[in-house]
C-alpha cells in the first residue's frame, strides 16, 4: 500500500474530511488531495504530525511495517487494556519484558510506550530493578519524551504525567514531581486524588485515604456549583422555560447530593448542609409550577434532613461514614440551628399560603 493509500485509509477511519485533516496538520486541502492520489509526498517535517493525528506509527505511514510487526503489536496489546494501573508484579515483569523490547525498536508506538513506563516505575518502586536513581529517571524520561511526542489520546498523556510525578517522588525530587502533577487537569481528577494514588502506590495508606476524602468532597462541591451556575445562566438569558429548567437542574442536584450521602450512617457535613439550603427552594419552585404533591414531598424530606443535621451538630463524634473529613465545617457561619430553622419556616409558610 502506498503512502497516499495509507493516508486515505486512516483519514476515513478517523472520519476526517480532507479539509479537516489539512487543518490539523497545517497544510492545504489540495496538499492532502495530492498525497492521497500519490501526486505528491508529505514533507519530512509533516510525517510525525501526520502519523500522530492518524494515530498510527511513522513506520506504518511510510509503509515499513510487515506482518511480523503487526502480529507483535497485536499480541502485546492483547495483554493489556484500558488505563488501569498495574500492581501485580509478575504481570508487570512480563509486560515490561515485552513492551520495553518493542519500544527500543519502535519508540513511536506510544500506547505500548505508556505500558513500558508504567511497568518500569512499578518494578523500580518494588525493588525489582537495581539501578541508580539517576539511571532510573533517565530511562523514564526516554519513555515520557516519546509518549509526549507521539501520543494523541488525552488519558494516556495525563497518565504519563502521573507516572513521571510518581517516578520523581520515588527518587525524592518533590519539586519535579510537583511540576508533572501541575499538568493534570481537573477533568482527569483533582490534585488530591493523584496525590492519593502516589501515596497508595507507595504504601502510605493513611495519607492516601485523607487525600481521597478531600478529593471526594471537592468533587461534590464542584459538581453542585456547576449545576447552580447553569441554572443562573438559563435565568439570565430570559429563557421562557427558565423556571422549569431551573427546577429540573435543582432536582438533579438533589439526586447527586443524595448519592454522595449514601456512603454510610454519618452524613458528611457539607452535603447535608447543601440539602437544607436546596430543599426550601425546591418546595417554593414546585408550588410556583403547580406541583403541589412534589412540594409536599420535598417538605417532608426537608424536615427529615433538618433533624439529621441537628443530630450531626449535637453528636460530632458519631462519624461512621468512611468519607467523613475531620473539621470540614467551612460553612459553619451559616449552619446554625437558627439559620436552618429559618429555611424550614419559610418553606412551611409557602405551603400554608396555597
Across the chain, mean pLDDT equals 82
Cβ burial 139-148 (10 Å sphere, 16+ → b, else e): bbebbbebbe
What confidence score (pLDDT) does residue 136 get? 96
The owner of cell 457539607 is 270
pLDDT tens string 212-250: 877 877 777 777 778 888 888 988 888 899 999 999 999
- For the chain, the maximum distance between any two Cα atoms, rounded to a whole number of angstroms, is 80
Structural contact between residues 195 and 211, judged by C-beta atoms closer than 8 angstroms = yes
pLDDT value at 100 more than 90: yes
pLDDT value at 196 more than 60: yes
117 CB neighbour count, 10 Å cutoff = 27
Structural contact between residues 344 and 303, judged by C-beta atoms closer than 8 angstroms = yes
Q: Among 121, 206, 113, which residue's Cα sits nearest to residue 171?
A: 121
What confidence score (pLDDT) does residue 235 get? 85
pLDDT, mean of residues 100-110: 87
Structural contact between residues 146 and 185, judged by C-beta atoms closer than 8 angstroms = no
Q: Which long-range contacts (CB under 8 A, 24 or more apart) does 133-139 make?
A: 133/171, 133/172, 136/167, 136/170, 136/171, 137/167, 137/168, 137/171, 137/173
Collapsing DSSP to helix, strand or coil, 189 comes out as: coil
pLDDT, mean of residues 114-134: 93
pLDDT, mean of residues 264-280: 68
Locate 14 and state its grid cell: 478517523
64 CB neighbour count, 10 Å cutoff = 11
Alpha-carbon distances, residue 184 vs 188, 195, 332 (angstroms): 7, 11, 32
pLDDT value at 120 more than 90: yes
DSSP class of residue 85?
Answer: P
pLDDT tens string 140-188: 999 999 898 878 777 888 889 999 999 999 999 999 999 998 887 665 6
pLDDT bucket at 271, cuts 50 / 70 / 90: low
pLDDT value at 80 more than 60: yes
pLDDT, mean of residues 41-69: 80
Give the range with max mean pLDDT: 49-58, 103-112, 289-298, 309-318: 289-298
Residue with more model confidence, 67 or 289: 289
Amino acid at each position: 500500500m502506498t503512502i497516499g493509500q495509507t493516508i486515505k485509509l486512516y483519514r476515513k477511519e478517523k472520519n476526517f474530511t480532507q479539509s479537516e485533516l489539512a487543518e490539523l496538520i497545517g497544510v492545504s486541502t489540495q496538499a492532502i488531495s495530492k498525497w492521497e492520489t500519490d501526486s505528491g509526498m508529505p514533507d519530512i517535517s509533516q510525517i510525525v504530525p501526520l502519523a500522530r493525528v492518524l494515530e498510527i506509527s511513522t513506520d506504518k505511514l511510510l509503509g515499513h511495517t510487515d506482518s511480523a510487526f503487526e502480529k507483535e503489536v497485536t499480541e502485546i496489546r492483547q495483554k493489556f487494556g484500558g488505563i488501569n494501573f498495574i500492581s501485580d508484579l509478575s504481570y508487570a515483569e512480563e509486560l515490561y519484558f515485552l513492551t520495553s523490547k518493542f519500544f527500543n525498536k519502535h519508540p513511536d508506538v506510544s500506547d505500548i510506550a505508556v505500558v513500558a513506563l508504567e511497568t518500569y516505575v512499578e518494578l523500580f518502586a518494588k525493588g525489582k530493578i537495581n539501578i541508580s536513581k539517576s539511571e532510573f529517571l533517565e530511562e523514564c524520561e526516554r519513555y515520557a519524551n516519546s509518549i509526549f511526542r507521539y501520543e494523541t489520546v488525552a488519558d494516556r498523556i495525563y497518565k504519563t504525567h502521573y507516572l513521571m510525578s510518581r517516578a520523581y517522588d520515588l527518587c525524592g525530587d518533590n519539586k519535579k514531581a510537583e511540576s508533572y502533577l501541575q499538568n493534570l487537569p481537573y477533568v482527569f481528577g483533582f490534585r488530591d486524588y493523584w496525590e492519593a494514588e502516589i501515596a497508595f502506590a507507595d504504601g502510605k495508606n493513611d495519607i492516601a485515604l485523607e487525600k481521597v476524602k478531600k478529593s471526594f468532597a471537592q468533587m461534590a462541591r464542584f459538581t453542585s456549583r456547576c449545576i447552580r451556575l447553569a441554572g443562573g445562566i438559563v435565568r439570565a438569558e430570559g429563557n421562557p422555560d427558565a423556571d422549569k429548567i431551573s427546577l429540573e437542574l435543582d432536582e438533579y442536584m438533589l439526586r447527586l447530593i443524595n448519592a454522595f450521602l449514601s456512603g454510610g450512617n454519618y452524613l458528611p457535613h457539607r452535603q447535608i448542609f447543601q440539602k437544607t439550603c436546596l430543599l426550601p427552594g425546591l418546595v417554593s419552585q414546585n408550588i410556583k409550577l403547580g406541583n403541589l404533591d412534589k412540594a409536599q414531598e420535598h417538605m417532608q424530606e426537608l424536615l427529615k434532613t433538618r433533624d439529621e443535621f441537628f443530630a450531626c451538630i449535637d453528636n460530632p463524634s458519631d462519624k461512621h461514614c468512611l468519607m467523613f473529613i475531620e473539621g470540614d465545617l467551612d460553612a459553619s457561619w451559616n449552619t446554625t440551628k437558627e439559620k436552618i430553622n429559618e429555611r424550614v419556616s419559610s418553606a412551611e409558610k409557602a405551603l400554608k399560603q396555597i
